[in-house]
Structure 1
Amino acid sequence: MIQRITSRVLILGMMWLGLSLLKWDGNKNQILWQALVFTGIVLLGSLMEEILHYQGDPYILPVVQVIMALGLVFLVRIRPEVGLRQFWWANIGLLIFYVVLWAIRDYRQLGSFRYLWGLLAVGLLLVTLVFGYSAGGATSWLHIGGIGIEPEEFVKLALLLFMATYLEENEELLRIGTVQLGSFSIPDWRTLGPFIVMSAFALGLLAAQKSLGTALEFYALFVLMLYVVTERTLYLLISLPIFFLPGTLGYMLFTHVHVRVAVWLNPWQDPTGGGYQIAQSLFAISGGKILGTGLGNGIGASTVPAASTDFIFSVIAEELGFAGGMAILVLFLIVVMRAFAVSLRAKDRFGQILAAGIGILLGTETLIILAGVTKLLPLTGIPLPWVSYGGSSLLVHFILLGVLLNISNATAVGSLSTKNKGREYAT
């Protein structure tokens, strides 16, 4: 218990130190009150973990809380009013996380609703396409009660659950195949049909919304989960031409995709126009050097467009330097690797696939957004989990975190029960 409380106190101390170093006008009292609420939820949550005998992975939640604390401090630094709203979402998200962690009695019941998850994902995308509004060239937002919601974030959760249930049910047929095609064996249409139809429909709707960054993320999730479960390189080889064909069509049909690719190839052709975002991002990152300019001393917070969302990593890298940027990468790497460790330890196949899928999703999101702001890939507009501003993203990632640690806790409790039964039998 002492170790658990101590780690949370250190994390909160880092957050409060960061807030104390900032200078901002307006909303100060409101932000401090929300920070106090956040502090109370974190400490009370760690106490509840002890009271309810949480036995799951001890590292994932503290690492996520470090990531989130950094994100909150930098959002307050960039735009205090945005930081205030993020504190609200973070407090709600933490409460939802603990509800998911403790309220799900048996996570395997989530696998009983395969087609329901698929229909929910498609339904959310259809509603967004019909009633949504455009931002950044993509129709991916809904207004509900005066609050902007991004349904695509909730679609991630629904599709992940659909994939986990589908892959668990059809693993052997997908691994071995029943139809011979030359020297390769592939699954028959009855096995592959639901997966192909769901994938094509979801990706087609995202393309219609012009949300191609999310489409790339979903496609990577589909392919990588299929590969991890079946261990067949054939699926990876088939996925490449399937990816490049729609990618080429998107480049030809959508102007904003064409612009993003052109900017990615050479932002210096128009550094004050189309290339302004990525140029300012690169200037900010390079200006940080090794140890950074210091918290609150960088210029990227005011010069980099969308600094609180798409390009928050650029501001962090400028003010905390290469060391701070690498620290963020290492923290995300720890979360992803621990998710795979949870997958390996899970006692049932559904839990293994679902935990691995969560790790794949988090890793893919992080890779795509960080590659975009550093010019390794075209910009996609995907938020950095637990760091970028966005209530929808924060809530969904807390739900995913709750499911992941629920699997981990159930595995540990099951192992402990088995050991105790073994001892009783030996006695």
Structure 2
Amino acid sequence: MVLLPTERIFVRGADGYEAARRSTVWNGLVPQRFPDTIMQAVDTAEIVAAIGYARDNGHHVGVCSGGRSWTASHLRDGGLLLDVGRLDHCEVDTDRMIAHVGPGKCASDFALELDAQGLFFPAGHCEGIRLGGYLLQGGYGWNSNAVGPACESVLGLDVVTADGERVYCDADNHPDLYWAARGSGPGFFGVVTSFTVRIYQRPRALGMCLYMYPIEVADEVFSWARAIGPEIDDRVELQLVTTRGVPAAGIEDPVITVASPVFADSEEEAAKALAALGSCPVVDRAITSLPYAPTTLANWYAAVMGNYPQGYRYVVDNMFTSASADELLPGIREIVKTMPPHPSQFILTGWKPSAHRADLVYGLEDEIYLALYTAWRDPADDERYRDWAGSNMAAMSHLSTGISLADENLCRRPAPFTTDANMARLDKVRSSYDPDHRFHSWLRGE
């Protein structure tokens, strides 16, 4: 019998509870949702014991590995919150080109540790994200156009089920549970204690381009980006970031930044792959024009995190679409017109959907991904800014294929993130592994 660790169990109202609750939320906008009990597990035995405790006491269970969910969907009123962020083991097998990693392993640390060994994994673009939530929700990361979303690199998982059973699932063992784990995100009905993932040889060259355009040529820039997106080399990430200024560059006016990484086998190939991003018809209007420069993964992480400072209150929303530029531009103009101050941002990313991913829970991808990130510091501005992302995405929802769970806003704007067939299959698998709905599903409503 495993006794639950009293020093890492926090009951609502007791000392340490609020600190433990807030420690599971990276967002400065901490929801007013309060589990009855929070447990910080350090190993599988404790997780099994926690699930037994929840079952015996009729508690629902939420799971958190890193707290980077924008909506903090793991925080629910009542029940048990199981924090597995301390399961952060990492074992790399270079002979088999696999790694065994815990859900609490920081994805950016994992990526940089592999990078130092000449290896690679499509970890997320932001620092601090833990692998648990990232892999379960699909995992769009570095070089994902070439190697696929990170969930495709998950070869197997160790899972504690709703009845406290420890199982290993892969394509041959508990294949339905394995299927469900690759894309269901916060709707997954089990506790992952370890992932077995495929790792890759690191591409020899990592480079980037950088173009900055004044907002006055927004129509031309977005129309161009929409036209070339499907033709871009898979090793290039087409990324347009629109902000009301770039403080780090001393730019105060609204600007569209085309900052695209490339992964290739040589500097020459990298520069050639990025050449298409210099073809914008208004490139002569660019404030900054850098067709190619070598860089490092560490530098990219530092650059990305300049747009996501800690201490801010964030609300996000997103959509996949195949709509034309003419269809998208009215909504984009409204986004640009109403955009809150930096570091709020609008991101347009090119994506390469694949027919073989249609059967994944992560299944509503399309040619273009649009994401809005509202960020503000003062709680007095909550009413002013809280609905900007959701209202603008709602206004364009008729053009949407679906959303990504990475930037979901389901508690404020319900939207589809998988096909009806996949959702029906997911419900069937859930009824088998969690018939009593012990685990919380996706958060619907505040």
The TM-score bracket by the shorter chain reads under 0.3
Greater share of strand: 2
Using structure 2 for the length normalisation, give the TM-score: 0.26
Higher helix share: 1
